[in-house]
Amino acid sequence: MNDILSPSPSESDLAFESALRPASLAEFIGQDNVSKQLGLLLKAASLQNRAPDHILLAGPPGLGKTTLAMIVASEIGAGLRVTSGPTIQHAGDLAAILSSLSSGEVLFIDEIHRMARPAEELLYLAMEDFRVDVMVGKGVGASSISLDLEPFTLVGATTRSGMLPNPLRDRFGYTANLEFYGHEDLATVLARAAKQLALDAHEDAISLIASRSRGTPRVANRLLRRVRDFALVDGAGEITADVAQRALELYEVDSLGLDRLDKQILEALIVKFQGKPVGLSTLAVAIGEEPDTIESVVEPYLLREGLIQRTTKGRQATSLAYRHLGASEPS
């Protein structure tokens, strides 16, 4: 997929986002219901002088799950420990992290659905009773030692909440389902970023970039950087709608925010398979891409925009996809 439209972060994205990241719920743009609910949860915990309930942040990549975890720690004045599910492959790894947490600290586990099963099972007891049972030794001489933990708040982030086992999901006191951003919220995100970067970006240019950002702030900020670079090299002192349009054309981002891979998928469904339903693995082979990339990165946006549909027989292009590509629907 064209890296410019991928919701997954690059190193430059992380550095850029860190510089622009809001520090409080009041500064956080979009996800209004989630912000209000989180604010209530944190305020209630503060009034009761206790650690907030464990929080699960679910939603597609690039919508602000990591930012919200940092805001939770900031709002309650606690430290933040950051790790990720793939790095926790043994129960002992998680036990070491949990036992080192101080009272009230926030533990953020990104991609929590990818944590190893033994670590998940250890987490059940830690979340509920703030203790862990650790096995010492091997074979017949092995014994279990119970370790008490300081009260902490776990913030888990997942792009696939359906992959979480029910016992783990049920132990979160609050689940926030993050949704794709609307045009106005994305324009506000971009205007704020442009101001912080001291860019002279016209309102119509901001609106144009927002309309092609796939409902994702991370993509919006990345497009803004590319348009800024284009304006710098082009010698334009300001970012106008014309400058933004030419920059986006250069990076092959069309009016719906589709890139080359998106169009490859639609063209394969429409031309190669003549509009008939196609299985995921067959589609992946046809365009030379990994099935997981199609399913988790590309497909959610195409489904949301109504360009493809899932049927019992496979993926199929919709009438909107035919119109967007200027193709004739089969009779």
CA distances 274 to 54, 252, 323, 325, Å, are 49, 25, 15, 14
Share of the chain above pLDDT 70, in %: 93
Model pLDDT for residues 278-326, shown as the tens digit of each residue: 999 999 999 999 998 898 788 888 999 999 999 999 999 999 999 999 9
What is d(CA 202, CA 181) in angstroms, rounded to the nearest whole number?
Answer: 21
Model pLDDT for residues 186-228, shown as the tens digit of each residue: 999 999 999 988 899 999 999 999 999 999 999 999 999 999 9
Read off the pLDDT band of 2 (50, 70, 90). Answer: low
Contact 174, 51 (CB under 8 A): no
pLDDT at 139 over 90: no
Average pLDDT over residues 248-266: 93
What phi and psi, each to the nearest 5 degrees, are found at residue 34?
-60, -45
For residue 81, what pLDDT is reported? 96
The whole-model pTM stands at 0.85
pLDDT at 19 over 80: no
| Long-range Cβ contacts of 245-252 (<8 Å, 24+ apart) | 245/208, 248/208, 248/209, 248/212, 248/223, 251/2, 251/4, 251/223, 251/226, 252/2
Average pLDDT over residues 87-92: 89
Contact 176, 56 (CB under 8 A): yes
What is d(CA 234, CA 237) in angstroms, rounded to the nearest whole number?
Answer: 9
For residue 292, what pLDDT is reported? 86
Known catalytic residues are 65-66, 110, 159, 218
| Domains of the chain and CATH, by start | 31-177 (3.40.50.300), 183-250 (1.10.8.60), 260-325 (1.10.10.10)
For residue 4, what pLDDT is reported? 63
* Per-chain mean pLDDT for the chain: 90
Residue type at position 124: Y
Model pLDDT for residues 158-174, shown as the tens digit of each residue: 988 889 999 999 999 99
